[in-house]
């Protein structure tokens, strides 16, 4: 009798291990292309767009959702192609370069000395369902002497 229970238990484990894993879906934010630079006075300064801070829950790529006022969850099978902190940093670099207002716009990855550093922090970057789906993004951007 004990042998048949063990056989059934082992069979259940083997069958459950053979189930197909749920596929992870990846999503990419589409940031509009910057407007062409207009002729005008630029600034004789260089910028470095520093790393953008984000809470640890935003750094693993899972898409977050908010329920009510205080509850935040994360989808296991829906992920960003790039984490929100990288999306914001890369978008700032692209927009500032396209403005044509600065001598140069770089990131810390380029190891270039700059006159000013643009830094930021993301507070919210999540989906909200009430009554239709929309997103909430809350961030802070600062400019500091290098």
Domains of the chain by start residue, with CATH: 26-145 (3.40.50.10610)
**Residue 1 reports pLDDT greater than 60:** no
Distance CA 39, CA 26 (A): 39
Q: pTM, whole model, 2 decimals?
A: 0.78
**Residue 13 reports pLDDT greater than 80:** no
Task: Assess contact for 122 and 64: CB atoms under 8 A.
Answer: no
pLDDT given for residue 141 in this prediction = 97
Smallest CA-to-CA distance from 72 within 12, 6, 113, 129 is with 129
Q: Name the residue with tokens 């830094």.
A: 119
Distance CA 126, CA 74 (A): 9
pLDDT given for residue 126 in this prediction = 92
Q: How much is the mean pLDDT over the chain?
A: 88
Diameter over CA atoms, the chain = 88
């Amino acid at each position: 009798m004990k042998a048949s229970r063990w056989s059934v238990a082992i069979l259940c484990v083997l069958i459950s291990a053979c189930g197909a894993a749920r596929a992870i879906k990846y999503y990419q934010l589409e940031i509009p292309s910057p407007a062409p630079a207009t002729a005008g006075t630029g600034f004789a300064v260089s910028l470095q767009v520093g790393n953008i801070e984000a809470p640890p829950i935003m750094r693993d790529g899972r898409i977050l959702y908010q329920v009510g006022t205080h509850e935040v969850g994360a989808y296991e099978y829906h992920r960003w192609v790039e984490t929100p902190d990288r999306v914001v940093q890369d978008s700032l670099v692209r927009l500032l370069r396209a403005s044509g207002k600065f001598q140069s716009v770089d990131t810390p990855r380029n190891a270039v000395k700059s006159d000013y550093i643009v830094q930021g922090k993301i507070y919210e970057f999540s989906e909200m369902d009430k009554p239709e789906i929309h997103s909430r993004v809350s961030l802070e951007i600062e400019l500091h002497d290098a």
